[in-house]
Structure formats: structure tokens, C-alpha cells
Structure 1
């Protein structure tokens, strides 16, 4: 590890870092470092790391923890999603082939006796090694490209975990597995011969039907959201012949129940349509990502307002719905009072919320809601009761 990285753990430098956690980082970068052996860039890197950790992985806010460059922080899973995944896996031997900053590996390896981390960036691996020592966590750390490791590997692991990154040359949003590094399609056979189970974290932008078509060993898909923001798609592969792919829509830090279904059931699901009744239901974003628009109607016994609205209704309360529930009534646009305060929701409606607020002179916020949408009969406005 570089001398300056070790030096940055000195108490006097750590005190300086902690004293500047709320300082403007751009202004700080223009100043000269008060410590000859540590640059201001390295100091700011640690400040930024602590700021990110406060929201993303607060378990690392301890003395002696080092933080990597911002890109590695951005690419890391959050503590919340990593902790959720840790409850799904157990065994004797776990290996993370794309360790990165090690957040996923730290949590996912909790129920394993032997832990191996592969990381091709030597500086990043040394940071993780140092942090795990501080945290009292043991592992075998290997600085190597995962392709080289797999080529020579003779071991069989209980779980192999990967979090592929976007290729540097690809500036567009990633939708295909071959656009990632490593190319999962090129190494999937080797992965499956080296583990009982392979778990892959992917971008929420990936298409689920595409995944099912190119990964024949897939047996489970988890769509993970945090506070209704879809963060990742996690796929599970195995050599066992499993007929159906089970899917789970998870919305962490909410009261939403997990919505479970079998991949492909949406194609045969039937939605009953109807005009708005007493209760209005809007599915969480994990379900919207899954595209189970008819299936949720059928399984929950709800009527759908319109094929493109993805809003549902019922006369009686459905308590275990995975999303938001409103008690509402249809109103005439003329009854919307100017300068009144509402939260605006639009689904399958020609105007955006900002345009609606301007048109009707509505203030944003408050406790009441207006939903602008369409039913089979046409455009409607719903007001919370």
C-alpha cells in the first residue's frame, strides 16, 4: 500500500478530514495540503468517501477505514441491498470474482466459512484488505483478472458472485450482457462448472425477457428496489434442471410485501377492467419493472383502469397490495381550486405534473393527491378523499 495511504490514517489527518466533512470539496481542492506526505486530492477522496458512506454504507463509519476513488463508491452496492442478498445464500465456500470495494462480499459471505475475493485493481484490493482487517473479517485476497483465475481454477465453490461493470469504451446505457466486463455470455459455462450456484448483480435497465433467453441456467430473478427506487436486478444460475424461473419484486424500506410470480405467467394472465371505485392502487416500481400488469390484477383481484395506465381499483380494501393505496373519487377539472395544494401523479395522461400545476395553478405538496390518468372511457381526474 502506498505510504501516503497509510499516512492518511494518522490521527491528526483523520481529525482534519472529520473537521471538513461539510466543507465545499471544490474549494478544498484548490488549497494546499497541510500535510507534506498526503495530497489534498487524497484527503478529499476520504471526505467524499465518508459522505457517501453516511447514506450508502454507514457500517464503514469507523476509525481506520479507507475509502477508494468516487467511481468505486458509485459502483458499490448499498448496505441495504447487500444485507438483503446475504440472507439468500449460505454454504462452505464463497467467492466474489469482481470484489470492487467489497460491500457485497462483506455481507454475502456472512454465512460461509471460506471467503475469496478477486480484484484486478491492486490499489483497490489493498484498501479492501485493510478495511476487512479493521472490521475483523477474514478472506483470501487475490489480485488477478477473473478470466485468468477461472482458467486455472480447479476448485468448486458453493456460490460465485459477480457484479459486471460497463466497458470503458461503451458510453451508452448497458442493455446487453456482452456489453459488460466480464462478458457473462462468454464465461457462463466456466462459471457453472466452478460453482453450485452463480449469482449476478445487473443494472435495473436490463430486459428480463432478454436475460431468460440468453441464460439457460437461470432459475430465479430478484428485482430489488429501495424506497421504490429500483436499484438492481439479481439473477441466480444453477446446473440443476429447474423448469420455472421464480421472480420476486422487493421494495426495501417499505411496508410492501414481496410480490412473487413465475416468469412467463404474465403472458397468460387476464386483467379485468373497470371504472374507478373507492380504492385506487399504484404498484411499486419493482413490479412495474417486472411488467406484471395483468398478473397483479388477476392475483390481487383488482380491476385495471386502462391497458396503459397501470392503475387498479376495488370497492373494498386489499390490505396486502405491494404499492400505494388511495381512497379517491372522480372530480371535474372545474372543481380544482386555484392555488390549492396537492401532490400530482400522472399515469397515461398527455400532460406532465409541471404542466398540470401551471395549467390549474396548483401548489405542490401537502397531504392530498390528484391523479391524472385514463380509464377505458377516457381521461379522468381522481382526488384523494
Structure 2
């Protein structure tokens, strides 16, 4: 327990500039300045990243690197909902959670509430007492702390028996968030390069748990991860505010059909995968509904929130490059441009989106969609099309007459956004959006404004 002077200093200065406070050490000899500065910096990070923790007095924060590497509150809450759905209601009375890579304990603290007993394992001796203190402050009195290597602890866990009718063995879920830095502190992304190596541990994990949840880098190709691991039943691509944050893989003891969840804030698009990687079915539901759904929940082809999609409007691959977007003929063009969110882009489920929502891709490389009206629940942004133009100077002059500012995005286009902005002599920002793309051999600019979707 720190002395009163240190605690008062933290409380008094927690909104101040940490770099400036570092020079006040000589004026405050009774203050443990390194610890105080770590708490102030940690609280300031938590206010942005973990607001409910920042609002809780008495929590202790780790060094800066651990704060930056820990999960954000929205992603931790998502994992808690995922774990709760995977293990079911009985886990609150009999379930066991084992986090082999505890870290600061953010993910663990949220997931642990769904289990009768939870074990936190962390080899960093500095983090363990901090986590233990925080768990007590958060009211988690059913958790167990182990200081040591997660792989070593895994080897001590009993084998999970095959489940039969009347089996009383508690349901066990193991969670891992492998460290994505090598011994020199450099970032790594391959699963085998992370610590621990989940590819090498896959068999051992599935012998000692009913369910395994692995958090991986969002940079990783999920198809490759599924190929290297065993019995992957779910892939979760998790985005917050349209920024891809995490890739979660769920492994189960028995092999199940693979389902992919594309998550962005309060919305989830999910589809089933058949064979090696070819998705068959797509459906959209709110995140909470998707998480509460059972493992055999309906994922019927072309069903969106219970409404059949018009699959006839989906263009086959051979027609993607033959779409004609006429210029200066508003009545002859679709009225809405749809731009998928980052989780859809990461998952690569472009045809599944077209089938589920009955919309058409502009081309197989642009990943932009067209519709004759607003599309309810579309997982992405929607824009009202104002004009479509070629790159011909006369057409550009006519299309952009009176336009001095716009947001520019390029998809499958020979110029960068900055180069195109200079060509068009436009300032960045404003309420207009320009999407530049290529259809066949023709370059097109689509001038739009954001549409508030129903």
C-alpha cells in the first residue's frame, strides 16, 4: 500500500501532463514518483480505452506498454458475450475458465463472470499482484492467480473426458492471447512466431479443454489460421468504429461446420463456410442476437433478418467487369453506393454480402456495391449517388462544377487518394465523398453524399 502523500498526488494530478509532472520529484520527496506517474498515465489511457475501469476508484495500473497492449473495453465485452454463449448458462455453476496469458487481466475480468471458477495465469511477476488487487476491487472473488508460464500450467491440467450423457465434469474454456513480440521486442504476426505457439500446442489444448478461444493479430489471414489449427468452428473478425481490432478463433473438441462472424460495434454479419473456404450462406443479425444464438442457429441462404433477399440481382463473376455506369444520366444509374465495413473487408465475404442483401458489386476488385435505394442493416456505410463521371477533362469539369472540398477514397484505381485530390484540385473533408474505381478498363469517379440508412 502506497503512502498517503503518493495517493493524494495521483488524485490531485491525474488529469495533468505526465511529462511535466516528472520534473516535480524534488518538490515532493514523500511521493513515490515512478509509481505515481504510472498510475496517472494508466488512468488517462483507461479513460479512453477502459472507461468503466477509469470510473472505478482504487484500481492499479501497470507500466505504459502493458496498458497499450491490453484489450479495449468494447472488445473485452464482446469476448465476454462470446464466452457466455459458448459455455451456456450452466457454466455459472460448474464452468471453468483458464486464461493462460493473463496479462493486465482485462479480458479475463470480463469473461470470468460467466464461470463458477476462473484461473488467471501470468508469467510476469509484476503484473500478477496488480491483477489480483484489481480483481478484488472489481468483486471477482472466485478467481485464482497463478504466477508462472502458461504452457507449463497447461501441462498440469487434467485431460477433459469425452462427454457422455450424465457427465458431471465442469465445462472448461481455455483462453489465450499470444504475445506478438519476439525476444527483441519486435512485432511478429505469424502464429508460430508468437508466444506461446498455439499451432504447436493445438492438440494439447483440445485434450484439456472443451472450448479454446485464441486471440490473434488482425493482420493475420484467417484462412491460413484455420488451415494450420484443428477443429476451428468459429472465426470472429472484430472491429470497433470501423477499425479492425481483433481476430478470434474458437476451437472445439468435436469438428463442427465453420461459421464466420463479421463484427462492427452493434452489428454482426455471419455466414457459414463449406469445405476448405467457400462460404455458402449469409445472414445478418444484431451482435447480441448472434451471440445468444445456439450453435445450430439458422443461417439460411439469402435470409436477412428473416426477409428473403433477391438473389436474382446478384451478378455472376463473369459479369463483374461489364457493369456500365453511364455519366450524366442520374435516372439511369443506381441511387445508392454501399461501402462494406472493415470486418467485411477483412473476412472477404463479398459475394455473401451481395447474396444476403440482394445488391450488385461494381466490380470483383472494387468491393463497392450498388442499390436502387437505401438498404436496412447493411454492414457498412451508405451514400447517395449524386453524379458519376469518367476521367475525361470535360466530364470532370462538368461533374465537379462548384465543388471545392470532398473526402476521397480509391478502390482498384491507378491513382492514390492524394494524387487524385491534387488532380481534382479539391480540399480534403466536407460533406461530399468521391469514390474512384475501375470497371473493366474504364476509370470512374462517383460523387456522393452520406446517407443515413434506415
Cα distance in 1 between the residues matched to 2:335 and 2:223:
35
C-alpha separation in 1, matches of 2:149 and 2:31:
30
Q: Secondary structure at the match of 2:210?
A: strand
Q: 1:270 to 1:262 in 2, by over 3 A?
A: farther
Say whether 1:220 aligns with 2:234.
yes
- Corresponding residue to 1:246 among 236, 241, 259: 259
For residues 215-250 of structure 1, give each alpha carbon's deviation from its aligned partner in whole angstroms, at most 9, with x where no partner exists.
Answer: 1221110000001000000000111122x2110000
Q: Which secondary structure state, in structure 1, belongs to the residue aligned with residue 82 of structure 2?
A: coil
Aligned mate of 1:343, from 383, 403, 407: 407
Which of 174, 179, 182 is matched with 1:168 structurally?
Answer: 182
Selected match of 2:388 from 330, 347, 360? 330
Counterparts of residues 291-310 of structure 1 (less than 5 Å):
291-310=348-367
Any idea what the Cα deviations from partners look like across 1:105-136, whole Å, max 9, x if unmatched? 11111111111100111220100101111121
- Say whether 1:128 aligns with 2:121: no
- Say how many residue pairs are matched: 375
The 5-angstrom pairing of residues 361-376 of structure 1 reads 361-376=425-440
C-alpha distance in 2 between matches for 1:303 and 1:189: 43
Residue 7, structure 1, aligned to residue 11, structure 2? no
What is the SS of the residue equivalent to 2:255? coil
Does the 8 Å contact 2:408/2:435 carry over to 1?
A: yes
Indicate conservation of the 8 Å contact 2:388/2:446, yes or no: yes
* CA distance in 1 between partners of 2:47 and 2:413 (Å): 38
CA displacement at 1:38 relative to structure 2: 4.4
Once the two structures are TM-superposed, the CA of residue 194 in structure 1 deviates from its matched residue by 1.0
TM-score (norm 1): 0.90
**Alpha-carbon contact 1:174-1:205 (below 8 Å) kept:** no
1:51 paired residue number: 44
The match for 1:110 is 113
The structure 1 segments of at least 4 consecutive aligned residues displaced by more than 6 Å after TM superposition are none
5+ residue gaps, structure 1: 1-5
Contact 2:206 2:212 in 1 (8 A): yes
Give the 5 Å matches for 1:181-260. Answer: 181-242=195-256, 244-252=257-265, 256-260=267-271
Structure 1 partner of 2:372: 315
CA contact (8 A) 1:280 1:312 kept: yes
Deviation of 1:173 after TM superposition, in Å, equals: 4.6
Distance 1:80 1:359, change over 3 A: same
Counterpart contact for 2:9–2:31, Cα < 8 Å: no
Q: Residue 383 of structure 2: SS of its match in structure 1?
A: strand
In structure 1, how many angstroms separate the alpha carbons of the residues matched to 2:235 and 2:448? Answer: 35
The structural deviation recorded for 1:154 is 2.1
Return the offset for 1:349.
Answer: 1.8
Q: For 1:38 and 1:100, how far apart are their aligned partners in 2?
A: 27
- Identify if the C-alpha distance between structure 1 residues 275 and 20 changes in structure 2 by more than 3 Å, giving closer, same or farther: farther
Task: Kindly indicate whether the alpha-carbon contact (under 8 Å) linking 1:197 and 1:238 is maintained by their aligned counterparts in 2.
Answer: yes
Q: TM-score normalised to the size of structure 2?
A: 0.77
Aligned to 1:262: 273
SS in 2 for 1:294: helix
SS of 1:382 mapped into structure 2: strand
Offset at residue 379 of structure 1 (A): 0.8
Q: Name the CA distance, whole Å, in 1 between partners of 2:30 and 2:126.
A: 18
Q: Residues 35, 119 of structure 1: CA spacing in aligned structure 2 closer, same or farther, 3 A cutoff?
A: farther
Deviation, structure 1 residue 301: 1.9
Distance 1:164 1:194, change over 3 A: same
Q: Deviations over 1:40-90 (max 9, x none)?
A: 322221111111101111121222110001111122111111111211223
Q: Contact between 2:38 and 2:62, CA under 8 Å: does it hold in 1?
A: yes
Structure 2: runs of 5 or more not aligned: 161-170, 282-314, 326-333, 390-394, 450-454
Q: Deviations over 1:269-308 (max 9, x none)?
A: 9545334422111110101101122332233222211222
Aligned to 2:71: 77
* Displacement of 1:148: 1.5
